[in-house]
Amino acid sequence: MSKHLSKGSNKKTKRDLTAEVIKAFEKNPNKPLNYKQVSKILKINDHAVKQMINSLMNKLQEEKTIDEVRKGKYLLPFKKTYREGRIDITARGAGFVITEGEENDVYIAYKNIGNVMHRDTVKVLMMPQKKSGKLEGKVTEIIQRNNNSYVGSITIHKKKVWATLDGQKSAREIGIIPEGNFKVKNGDKVEIKLSSNFNPNERVMGKISRVLGQAGNNDVEMMSILIDNNFPTEFPDHVEAESQAIPDVISESEIKKRKDFRKVTTFTIDPVNAKDFDDALSIQKLKSGNWEIGVHIADVAHYVTPGSELDKEAINRGNSIYLVDRVIPMLPEVLSNKVCSLRPKEEKLTYSAVFELNENAEIQNEWFGRTVIYSDRRFSYEEAQDVLDTGKGDFLDELNTLKRLATILSDRRYKEGSIAFNNREVKFKLDENKNPIGVYVKESLETNKLIEDFMLLANRRVAALIEKHNQKANNNFPFVYRIHDSPDKTRLMEFRKFLKGFKYDIDITNDKTISQSLNKLLAEVKGKNEENVIKQVALKCMSKAVYSAQNIGHFGLAFDDYTHFTSPIRRYSDVMVHRLLTNFLEKEKPYIEQKKVETICKDISVLEKKAVDAERASIKFKQAQYLQNKIGEVFTGLISGVTEWGLYVEMQDNGCEGMISIRDLKDDYYQLDQANHQIVGNRYRNTFKLGDVVSVKLKNVDLIKRHIDLSIL
């Protein structure tokens, strides 16, 4: 039986008191405690019991239940726990480790990050959690490098050569191992192959694999972006050879297998500089008075067969990459710009979704299958818009009918809950040397929306066809879905708090009220100063759309079923959809198993994200290039981002974004108030908040880092 203690302890047993002492340490895991502090926590005033607690703590230390960190002060032993995940490195050299399935990221301070590269997969030792709840860790192992090839700018000093990597790719420089006959000078950009050193505590070393040219040169910088994202810059010879062997003449035997639309009015509408025309629309009035609308898509799957060299290369690329001044296609040019491209006045093989619509744009019948078309006209968006605006030009009646039906489809979609995120898209006017001579925000025309709504219709109905079969037959025919999960409720609650600063609100009761109130909000802020900032914060609440073999619907579009069917020249997902749709329609065994579909979906979702990152990097370079001769000029802008290291400001005139370092705000000591998207001065309580209009001076432009420094006025 446990011995009872003296009065003042409420007749607690020694065992009880030991348990309470341990509990006191558990409630204060990061605070070293002596016996007096433990007694105070336990609200014990009796001197004898305090001495007993002192003895108990000595015994607990002998048993290694607690550790003596300073004389008379103790802590619970730190239990080593680890996490694995991908690390994102910030501009200041710190990082955040993102682990799938874990809600909170782990912060890695610069001193604990080691020689890790941006997006490496790492193992992290978790550190004692702080009162703020912020998770921190230390990198102990590099499990997998994100890339084996990087781009850096050379520095030579006292015969030692090292490279500073582009952007936010590493917390350290790379030491260059002298090898080969490469002659480099200060400022040269080079491609570096890393040595096989995965120890985060040792310096990263690498060998130069090629010299790209002088930093700041447009072609050098664009090539750097592609290499940094591990994108191939050329097609292998065997892939090019396979593409060149494909005949560009369609045989009569192939035409006979297909539904013939060559005599039906058909045209394409694309960007003015496009060469890969992967979709066309046909239109004809039926005897019933209804309209037959054909959505015709380049039949890439006819030419690119499973397991071929072209197919393997397309899987590795995942999608075409669109930089400011160039396109890196998923397929070789002979296919993307010639054989598959739906060029005017040429017969082309297509895969089609054909709809019979009444005057209310309601589907009366639908058909899916392989076709052959003849495009009568190639429109740019601007040319087609001019026909609609002036009432003159080719296919005026057809364009008006398509516009009217598309408007009904669009209105219905928004009524059903589709969210109207029409984001500003920054574009550049380039001279003959691809240097930016102007920046403008792309205008979305009626013809853009016309094409979008018919492409959405085709994507939606193709997905619904497979999903309906799977539910009815209790079958799981493999398929590729484009899914978009509901937004995170915690982020939505933070968004509501943010909106209150602008005197707006949204209803987050359920998915329907969220989408309805978001649309109402977007309509209210249209044309106002805060429009773009509110859109940005709203988008951060949203999940990311990805590819999956499991259908959960698309929240942003308010579709139960959705896929990507309409762009197989530039997206591998669409090639898979065409193949599986053919298997389904012809009652064949699927060419690929469900498990493999899911694997490829994950891979191409990652490649899609990397393509977006590459495009953004090219935009940042062009913005820096455009502003490099405007140092000292004053601009009006909106605060578009608030971080602990500074304020991001989007300039209203040109859409370029720069940063004001928090260290340059000399009037006070500012700290981040993350919950309210602002920084607050400790002394005078001045604030800078997301969406505030500010006047800034262009302080500095760093082309190599693609960084624009601003100062507040």
Please give the sequence-ordered ranges of beta strands (E in DSSP) within 451-552, or none if there are none.
Answer: 481-483, 546-548
**Mean pLDDT across 174-185:** 85
* pLDDT higher than threshold 60 for residue 448: yes
In the structure, what pLDDT confidence band is assigned to residue 691 with cuts at 50, 70 and 90?
confident
pLDDT of residue 131: 55
- pLDDT of residue 130 exceeding 80, the answer is no
SS3 154: strand
Domains of the chain listed by start with CATH number: 14-75 (1.10.10), 78-215 (2.40.50.140), 238-482+553-612 (no CATH), 486-542 (no CATH), 628-712 (2.40.50.140)
Residue 318: pLDDT over 90: yes
- Which H helix or E strand runs over 313? helix 309-317
Q: Tell me what pLDDT residue 167 has.
A: 64
Q: Which of 176-185, 291-300, 669-678 has the highest mean pLDDT?
A: 291-300
Strand partners, 642: 647
Stretch among 157-166, 168-177, 372-381, 554-563 having the lowest mean pLDDT: 168-177
Long-range pairs, 42-50, Cβ under 8 A, ≥24: 44/8, 44/9, 45/8, 46/6, 46/7, 46/8, 46/9, 48/5, 48/6, 48/8, 49/5, 49/6, 49/8, 49/9, 49/17
pLDDT at position 525 over 70: yes
Average pLDDT over residues 661-669: 92
What percent of the chain shows pLDDT beyond 90? 64
Helices 572-585, 446-472: axis angle to 10 degrees equals 50
User: Which range among 231-235, 355-359, 405-409, 577-581 shows the weakest confidence by mean pLDDT?
Assistant: 231-235
pTM: 0.83
Is 197's pLDDT higher than 80?
no
pLDDT of residue 534: 87
Instruction: Give the chain's mean pLDDT.
Output: 90
pLDDT reading at 187 higher than 50: yes
280 strand-pairing partners: 296
- Position 132 confidence tier, pLDDT thresholds 50, 70, 90: low
Q: In one letter, which amino acid is 514?
A: I
> Is residue 142 predicted with pLDDT exceeding 60?
yes
Contacts of 637 by beta carbon, 8 Å cutoff, 6+ apart: 649, 650, 651, 652, 658, 693, 694, 695, 696, 710
* Calpha distance 365→377 (Å, rounded): 27
What value does the mean pLDDT take over residues 187-192? 92
CA dihedral 299, 300, 302, 303 (to 10 degrees): 140
How much is the CA Rg of the chain, to the nearest whole Å? Answer: 31
pLDDT at 400 over 70: yes
Q: What is the pLDDT of residue 276?
A: 93
- The reported pLDDT for the residue numbered 415 is 92
Bridge partners of 646, per DSSP, are 661
Whether 502 contacts 606, CB under 8 Å? no
Query: Got the DSSP string for 416-447?
Result: TT--------EEEEE-TTS-EEEEEEPP--HH
Which one, of 555, 707, 589, 576, lies nearest residue 645 by Cα? 707
**Helices 47-62 and 14-27: angle between axes, nearest 10 degrees:** 70
Which of 211-220, 457-466, 522-531 has the weakest average pLDDT? 522-531
Q: Which residue has the higher pLDDT, 566 or 641?
A: 566
DSSP bridge partners of 365: 356
Per-residue pLDDT tens digits for 276-290: 999 999 999 999 999
User: What's the pLDDT score for residue 174?
Assistant: 86
| pLDDT score recorded for residue 2 | 43
Torsion 194-197-203-205 (CA) sign = negative
Nearest to 703 by CA among 617, 621, 613, 616: 621
